[in-house]
Structure 1
């Protein structure tokens, strides 16, 4: 992902890769984290404009990962 001035960020989400490695579906993660499937789908597809730290914490605990495993900032 290249920095998109209209979006204002260059953050890439790697949730799909983590789910695949864990053999987990988005639906299962949503249930275990306590958020809707739709909200996680928005995040997974890179369309989220923000994420609460509490949600990120729960995702990391369920997937046994760190925030940097889920999100990266792409350089120009």
Structure 2
């Protein structure tokens, strides 16, 4: 996805632990990790506002657009399952 999340950068600048930020924002450390690691598909404005307040920053300090950023592949399910291309005629 071309939107990159820089929460980890701001955490390092503020010398704040993930658990402390999660508590201040009111989300679980696991959900913060999903956001921090770039696996989130969306972020609520209320969460973004709380992150900015806790980290004393602007939304642009946490999110940036990189058009050439590689996309992570979507999970395709069970890799051992194959689809038959044969006709259902018997």
Structure 2-normalised TM-score?
0.73
1:68 to 60, 74, 78: 60
Q: Provide the rounded CA distance (Å) in 1 between the counterparts of 2:49 and 2:5.
A: 15
Larger radius of gyration: 2
2:31 to 16, 29, 39: 39
1:23 to 15, 19, 28: 15
Provide structure 1 residue ranges, at least 5 long, that are not aligned to the other structure. 1-8
SS in 2 for 1:12: strand
The number of equivalent residue pairs is 68
Structure 1-normalised TM-score?
0.86
* CA displacement at 1:72 relative to structure 2: 0.3
Moved over 6 A (4+): none
Provide structure 2 residue ranges, at least 5 long, that are not aligned to the other structure. 69-90
